[in-house]
């Protein structure tokens, strides 16, 4: 499946996030690609909120590296920032990336590293590209 939307405001980006939420299965790894400040966390906040997470809890995982957002039913949504992780598999194992990625539920990875695929294959990739005039191009490709 492939989706592409153009947004010009945070509200429009949130609407695309709600649309994406309706298309995702409730289990799997989603890579989220985009430059710093592109709106990746805003999009994930909208998706998580649509699935039942508290939107006030959704924040960039830059400093914590991993955030979890409880859902009323089912496993929590996990939000990982791969940017600050080194290329050391040992570091990944120490923080439990292998267990996190293989656990049930949705796992969103901002700045994913290709090697994360050793632990769990992604089911979708979402890209957020900044254009002129505050425009964002949001694309999603998924398997199956």
Domains belonging to the chain, first-starting first, are 2-142 (3.40.50.300)
pLDDT per residue as tens digits for the range 40-84: 999 999 999 999 999 999 998 877 889 999 999 999 999 998 887
Task: Give the SS3 label for residue 41.
Answer: helix
pTM over 0.75: yes
As a whole number, mean pLDDT of residues 125-133 equals: 93
d(CA 77, CA 14): 17
Q: Are 135 and 8 a contacting pair, CB within 8 Å? A: yes
């Amino acid at each position: 499946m492939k989706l592409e939307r153009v947004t010009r405001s945070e509200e429009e980006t949130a609407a695309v996030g709600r649309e994406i939420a309706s298309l995702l299965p409730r289990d799997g790894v989603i890579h989220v690609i985009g430059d710093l400040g592109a709106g990746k966390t805003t999009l994930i906040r909208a998706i998580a909120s649509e699935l039942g997470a508290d939107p006030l809890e959704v924040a960039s995982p830059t400093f914590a590296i991993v955030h979890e957002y409880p859902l009323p039913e089912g496993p929590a949504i996990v939000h990982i920032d791969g940017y600050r992780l080194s290329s050391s598999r040992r570091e990944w194992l120490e923080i439990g990336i292998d267990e996190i990625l293989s656990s049930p539920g949705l796992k969103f990875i901002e700045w994913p590293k290709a090697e994360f695929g050793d632990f769990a294959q992604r089911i979708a990739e979402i890209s957020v590209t900044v254009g002129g005039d505050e425009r964002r191009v949001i694309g999603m490709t998924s398997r199956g």
